[in-house]
Amino acid sequence: MLRRMKIAPVAVVISAALMVAGGYFWVYSISGPTAEEFRVYSAFLSRKAADDHLQPNDFAIARTTLELFDPYFDSSIPTELRHDKTYPSAEFAAFCGFCARSFVRKNLTAWHFEPGPHDAFGISVVQASEPSLIPPKQNVAVSVTRVGFNLWHTRAVLGYSANCSDYSPDNPSVCIELGEVYLQKRHGVWKVEKYTDFLL
């Protein structure tokens, strides 16, 4: 009886340690873009289109993701072996904790999206174009980072850039919009909590 009582606390401690180790591995492991990330992108593009008084299909995702620049890293070192010297933004960390670190790890290198299977989410994947005074012939490409998730996949963060140039013939201007997006999952659906933008 006494032996069983001693074993039970040890089993609880071992189980807790395994859960923490599994969560740590999950946060820091790096794999390719997922369907869940495309659900997040879809939620963001729908919200941005509504705010800009556009149709959701007026936006597309750039084929190559944005990459965080860190001068400490040699590009020849595989991403898995790099020591993380880039720190996530305080806003990301305050919003979702460990997902900020996951965000940094995923975005130390550029990733490429495949256009085929993700059409189910209503998102086109196109080659990004440089900002210019020439109106785009097709939908505007929004460049995005990979998405950082918290452990429970209930909060998510990402960064983006978009061409916001004014194509009016009277006063044309070249403009780039940069921003960060904060989302929460409610009843199984991703919703944009807020997003910030900065114009260059």
Would you say residue 1 has pLDDT above 90?
A: no
Strand 189-199 versus strand 59-62 pairing type: unpaired
Question: Where are the chain's structural domains?
Answer: 1-30, 32-199
pLDDT score, position 188: 94
pLDDT score, position 158: 95
Mean pLDDT of the chain: 76
More confident residue, 169 or 84: 169
More confident residue, 167 or 80: 167
Let me know: does 136 contact 129? Beta carbons within 8 Å: yes
pLDDT, tens digit, for every residue of 167-196? 666 766 678 889 999 999 999 999 999 998
pLDDT score, position 23: 47
Sign, CA dihedral 29-30-35-40, equals positive
